[in-house]
Amino acid sequence: VSTQSTWGPFLIGLLRNMSAQPEVNPHDPPLPAGQLKDGWFSEINDQWPGQALTLQVEEVLFNKKSEYQHIMVFKSKSFGNVLVLDGVIQYTELDEMAYQEMITHLPLFAHPNPKSVLIVGGGDGGVLREVVKHGCVEKITMVEIDQLVIDTAKNYFTSMAPAWTDSRLTLVCDDASKFIEKPELKETFDVIICDSSDPVGPAQVLFETPFYKAMFNALKPGGKICTQAESMWMHLPLIERLIRDSSAIFANAEYASTQIPTYPCGQIGLLVCSKEGGESEGTGRKPRAIPDGDDEKFRFYTTEMHKAAFVLPAFVNRALSKAREEGIQKKDACEPAAKRAKSQ
């Protein structure tokens, strides 16, 4: 058998596969420049200059623009279906549990008996899927601004489907920054989980001090919040500000870390804050035990992973310890003034 007859068809097929472009409807909105090229998606973004994660694309499954953002879902070669909002990867089927489980179970297991939970954002349904695993939770309120994100997730991420029909869920399509300021929500929730995208566009307000104050007011005594808090490798000044501002509001503010391959630098942070009072520990570091038989519900979270998440590199500890102290000093300075004003 000749070499040419053996390798010729193989090489021709290989070249065709290498040059193949995933099919994109010409009537769909365009992607940001350079993000989909030669069958590969590159996460090019000014938020992480000089680097870009690249995934091979087998098929573009969904590509639309909602009232708030550009939404795309594609089938990747090695990470399953991928959700992309405004050109930024939010969720892949392969590694999503490293984020979804940690942002959910850190605050829920740090609370002794969470009954009422608020989810801010989380339209992909991942946090909701994890919250419903807790039998002690009696009521779940989820506020997502973009209905199209929810509809897209239901269609292309089927592992979430059962959670959407849970009887404990009340789904609200609204701006969470306005929703949470309602006076009737004062001291309503045991746990608030803020699963926001990055601090640009509609999510920017979710990283500002007024929103954190509103979450504090909506928490019951002893309540916990957990928010997406960016990467320590790329956004340490932002994290310092979040710790500083939160320490001036909450009894305790702590940064936890989890590893997820498809997020910038392979790492994302979670800000866990505790409100004084109640029976809860004043820290997010001490989890209650996982109920017997529930271990199999989790693919990533364990009690050991919970504790380890708060173990940080020295340079991060130094920066955040300083920011925390500055926030506490600000709170101590404000409290006497507030008491004087109240007495007058």
Give catalytic residue positions: 195
| Burial of 9 (C-beta count, 10 Å sphere; 0-12/13-18/19+) | exposed
Neighbours of 259 (CB within 10 A): 15
Rounding to the nearest 10 degrees, give the CA dihedral for residues 243, 247, 249, 255.
50
The CA-atom distances, in angstroms, between 168 and each of 10, 117, 163, 279 are 55, 10, 10, 24
Looking up tokens 């309503």 gives 188
Neighbours of 5 (CB within 10 A): 8
Cα gap 171→154, rounded to integer Å: 14
Can you say whether the dihedral through the CA atoms of 146, 147, 150, 153 is positive or negative?
negative
**Which residue type does 307 have?**
K
Q: Residue 107: helix, strand or coil by DSSP?
A: helix
